[in-house]
Every structure is written in structure tokens, then in C-alpha cells.
A and B are shown apart, each in its own frame.
Chain A
Amino acid sequence: MSDRTPDRVALLALPALVYMVIVFAIPVMVLIGRSFFGPSGLSVTPYIDFLSDGFNWRVIFNTLRTAALTTLVCLVIGYPTALALSWSKGFVQAIMLVAIILPLSVGVIVKAFAWQIVLRRDGIVASLLMATGVWDEPKLLLFTETGLVLGAANIFLPFMILPIYSVLKLIDPSLQHAAATLGAPPVYRFFRLSLPLAASGIISGCSIVFSLATSMYVIPSLLIGDRYQTLPTLTARAFLLMRNERLGSTTATILLFLTIAIVMLTAWLVRRREVQT
């Protein structure tokens, strides 16, 4: 009896598995298939054509750079927030959680339009920087990479905070006290104790945000426009405007593999370092 239990437990994942196969795995297979099979059979010509064009390498670079910067901003803002969240208790913690989760219910288009108001030249950011003397004159933030990264980081921030928080709250606070008692200074405690213990949360937070940021489409469409192409905007246009399914499938497949490769490589590097230390 007992050796059959794991099988039954696995059955619990069946609905999710069936759902994901139908709505995700099969369409992705079709998409990948379409990029390799043209009217004249199997070929990699679309990939060769795409990758032999220098401009497309810039598009790939744009995509990865924006995603990396967005992830970095989310991490720098998100880690301390997650820490505060794990230290807080009761009412304060409830308020903080609501403040982090509630914005998820606001549509991404609404947020992008809101950023348009915040970032414009007579908006609050420019006014603040002018008032504090950082800027002499209002500068353009909208339709620049800075504006895009700020907007995207705002939208994806909860996906960084929540995984880190879920790990941090499990760490026994007495570890900090023990380390302090043994004479470890705060900086040392942060790098040798807190950070390694939180690594799994940081990795998942970064993976989620990076994946979302490489595939974002509405946010760049509204915050930077079509003068800054990324792989998702090129893919959408290939399908919607050019009606070139082969090109769209090719760029989508490239994006998929790049994102998976980078996320897995990063996780592997971090874990390896963890094992060594």
C-alpha cells in the first residue's frame, strides 16, 4: 500500500499538468516547429537570416539589457522591502503585504499611463529633481531607457519582494544574534549569513522578474515606443502587421531559449558558489 502513495500524490498535479500541456506546451511546440519548417521543409534559414543582420543583435542586446537593469532595480529596492516585511509583525505587516499585492490588481496599461504622467517634463519626478537642484532644466524621461526601466521595475516589483520574503521569514532570527554575539560585524553578517540563506528566494525573484522583463510588450510599447525594438515587439509586429509567421516564430523561439538559458545559467552559478562557500 505505502509504496503506491507517491503515485497517488502525483495525481494531484494532473489537472495542472493537463492544463499546461494544452495551453502552453503544445502551442510552444507548434511555435518552435513553425520556425524550423517552411514551405520547402526543414531549414534554419530564418535563423541565419535573422542572426546575420547586425541590427537584430542590437535588438537582442536591448531586450537583455533592459531586462537585466529592471531585475537589478527590483532587487535593490525589493530586498530591503522583503527584509522589512519579514521583521514586521501584525497590523504593520498586513498593511505592507496589501500595499505590495494590491497594485497587482491594477492593469498594466493603467500603470503605464500613470507613469506617463509621473515622468513627463512637468511631472513629479522632474519637479522634484529641479527643486532639489539635481537638474537645472527638465530633461526627457519618457521614451528613454531610464523611463522604461523605472516603469517596468514598478510593475514587476512584487514578483521580487514576495519570493525573497517567503524565504527570509523562515530564517531563525536567533542566527543573527548568535553571529553578533560571536563578534561578526553587520557587513560580514549580511554577506556570509543573510545573503546565502536568502539565495534561493533571490534566485527565484530574479528569475521571475527577468523572464517577465524579457517578454514584456505593453510596457515598452507605451513607455518607449516603436523606436526601441525588443524581441517581443518584433515578434508581435511580425505576426500582427507583417503577417510573417515564420519570422515571428523565429524571434519568439530565440527569446524563449535566451531567457531559459540565462535564468538557468545564473541559478547554476549561484548554487555552485553556494556549495563552494
Chain B
Amino acid sequence: MPDLSGYWLGAVMENSRPLSLDRRNFVVGATALASALAAPSILRAQTRELVVGAASSQKSWSEEIMIPAFEKKHNVKVIFEGTRSLVNLEKMQKNKDKQYLSVVQMDDPVMITAVAEGLLDPITTARVPNAALLKPNLTHMDGMWVNYLQPWVGIAYNTAKVTTPPGSWAEVFDQKFKSRVILPSLQNTEGVLALFIASYLKTGKPMSEAQKDIDSAFAKLVEMKPNVLMSYTQEAQAYNLLEQGEAYLVAGAISSVAMARKSRGAPVELAAPKEGTFSMPSGIALVKGGPQPELAAAYIDMLISAELQSKISAATFALPVNKTVAAPAGLENLIIHPVDWANVSKNRASWVARWDRELSL
């Protein structure tokens, strides 16, 4: 039996080539075929469509809340092409002369690349009025992209093993959690955020400055080594260990993931540390030269509107981006510190190499 690993992790990491590059052509072709075969469909053939190059992790609320509301209001069919950021970037690069995506969801670091290659159109308050209601720090590079939600990282804990919720990041380093803590690997985005938190704890600097001091971050993580049970790349494994009680804490747990486990009945709870935290990069942008530009702007406008934000935020436990919407109960005082993603993109590879060396067994 060969080690099927590459196949498996490859699939998980979604490194696959963009398979759906021609999906729109297929849809158009299929529609044409259907019209040819069924005469009454002439009436339907006029239905407009909007293709969103989306983040597959955001599929459930997109399909349950956002898309039905948008389709109803604008009488349009939304095609949700859920994939990962780099694939969306590739789709835009390959179709630069004739874009078929109108809206794109990508991680902030990938947005920086897309801006540099001139693939995005700025989001202005003239086109997207609700952009004026965004919280500070959520509009990037003069409106080239905005954040549509703030899933945050906290401390997930096993409620059977930890009875007092950890209120501070410092508790993760407490001796009582010797070899019971799971960290995200630096290969995962939330691992980068955990690194910044370590730096903050070591230096006591404000989080915005602490994220520049990576030497201190590693110094703190090395101190923490005895507490680290493992560092995960596959979140399913991390939560498995947490729910079985082999691990007590996941420090750097993504809110949406932890809450999804909790809602399925797992003995897991998520604590929001008093020092504040970071949010996972969740950007949305208008594709330059994409079809249906007005609809594309309307899509983003609706997504960041007060009505949709309060629904999505309640469903995912993420913080809303619209300042007129209240945070979910219990998160009213949670501070989200901005991240310098350009700095992350530039240094990520060297941090990963350093992690190998300094955190190895």
C-alpha cells in the first residue's frame, strides 16, 4: 500500500489546480442547450448571473443567509465558486482580458498581490454606500478591499478538564497545562497570529508593535515548549485531541471552527482573552473589468449592511464589520488588533524555517 499522504493532504490543503476555470462557459453552454431543447425557457434565458470567487470556508452562511437574500432582492442568480485565496488569484490572473468573476473573497495577504497586479477595482462609498459604516482598519489600500467579517482567534478549552475559562493569553503558559496545549502550526494563518500573541506576552508592547518583534515571539514560544503537546496543521486533529481530553487548550483557535464543534455537542468552549486578539484575514473586493459591476458593488454593499452583518455574526460568532451592529453577546469588549499582512507575506517563509529549528522536539 503506498503512502497516500500526498493525495490526502494535497486535497485538504486544496493545492489542486483550479478545476472550475471554465465553469461559467459550462453553465452558459448548458443554459443554451437547455433553451434549445425547451422552448418556454426563452423567458428564463434573460436571468442575470453574478459569479463570486468565494472562500469555501464561508460556504454555509453564504448559501444559507447571504445568497438567498441577494438573489431575491436583485432577481439574479449567484454562482458561488468556493475555493481558496490563491486559486481565486490564479483565476483572475488567467482571465485578465476577460474576467468572469465579479466579486472575489481572499485572504488579506493575497489581496496585496492582486492589488499589485492591478486586478481589483476600488470600493468607494459612491458605489458601496455601506462602506462608510465599516469599523476603522477594515478598509485597506484606499478601498481596494474591505473585510466582510471578523472571525477571531481565542482559547478553545475542554470544559470537562478546564473549569475556569482562561481569561488571559498568559494562562496558556501556566505550568498546570504542561503538555496539554495545542498550538496552530505556523503553516496555518492562525499560527502567525499565535506567534504575535507570544511576542506581546514577552515584551508587553502593544500588539501592533509586538507583531514586529519576532525574536521575542520565538523566545516566548521556546519557554512554552514544555506546555506544547503538538502543533496542528489539520484542525480536525486538534479538536479531536481536545474533545478526547488529551489536550486541554487550543491556543489560537478560530472562532468559527471552535463554535461549530461546540454546536455539534462537543465539550468545547471558546474564551476571548482580555488582552484582545487578532482576526482571521477575510477580505472581499471588486474584480476590475468583471461583468455586472453594479451588481458586484450591490453584493458587497448588502454583505456589509447592518441587516446581513447582524445575521451572519450571530450565526458564526464572528465580530461584525459594520459599526452600527452590536457584537454577539459576551464579545462586546473584545478588542481586535490590526495585523500588518504585508509584513507577514514578506517574512512568513523565514518564520516557518525558524519554527522548525526552535520548536523541534
Contacts and interface: CB of A to CB of B under 8 A. Distances in A.
Contact of A108 (B5, B230, B349): B5
B20 interface: no
B356 A219 contact: no
B359 interface: yes
A11 to B, nearest CB: 27
Nearest to A123: B246
A120 B361 contact: no
Contacts of B349: 242, 244
Interface in B1-30: 1-6, 8-10, 13, 15
Contact of A236 (B9, B240, B246): B9
Contacts of B246: 116, 120-122, 142
B80 to A, nearest CB: 25
Contacts, number: 99
Contact of A217 (B9, B356, B360): B9
Contacts of B13: 240-241
Interface in A40-60: 55, 58
A55 B356 contact: yes
A263 interface: no
Given A240-B13, A242-B349, A229 B356 contact: yes
Interface stretch (A170-178, A188-196, A220-228, A254-262): A220-228
Contact of A140 (B179, B234, B359): B179
A108 B231 contact: no
Nearest to B187: A241
Contacts of A58: 360
B9 A225 contact: no
A241 B245 CA distance: 30
A121 B6 CA distance: 30
A241 B352 contact: yes
A11 B9 CA distance: 38
Contacts of A218: 3-5, 8-9
A216 B237 contact: no
Output the residue of B5, B233, B349 with the most chain A CB within 10 A: B5
B185 interface: yes
Contacts of A121: 246
Contacts of B229: 140, 142-143
Output the residue of A108, A113, A142, A227 with the most chain B CB within 10 A: A227
B264 interface: no
A212 B9 contact: no
A227 B360 contact: yes
B361 A228 contact: yes
Interface residues of B, number: 35
B230 A142 contact: yes
A239 interface: yes
Contacts of B70: none
Output the residue of A113, A142, A143, A219 with the most chain B CB within 10 A: A143
A236 B230 contact: no
A117 B243 CA distance: 11
B341 interface: no
Contact of A216 (B3, B10, B355, B360): B3
Contacts of B3: 108, 212, 215-219, 232
A108 B233 contact: no
Contacts of B241: 116, 120, 142
B232 interface: yes
A176 B249 CA distance: 59
B244 interface: yes
Output the residue of A109, A144, A225 with the most chain B CB within 10 A: A225
Contact of A221 (B2, B9, B245): B9
Interface string A97-119: 00000001001110001001100
Contacts of B15: 239-240
B357 interface: yes
Given A216-B3, A218-B8, A240-B9, 13 more contacts: A117-B244, A120-B244, A122-B246, A142-B241, A144-B361, A212-B2, A218-B3, A218-B5, A221-B233, A222-B234, A227-B361, A237-B352, A240-B13
26 contacts: A55-B356, A108-B4, A108-B5, A113-B237, A116-B246, A120-B241, A120-B246, A121-B246, A142-B230, A142-B246, A143-B229, A144-B361, A212-B3, A217-B9, A219-B5, A222-B234, A222-B237, A226-B187, A226-B231, A226-B356, A228-B360, A228-B361, A236-B9, A239-B15, A240-B9, A241-B13
Interface of B: 1-6, 8-10, 13, 15, 179, 185, 187, 228-234, 237, 240-241, 244-246, 349, 352, 355-357, 359-361
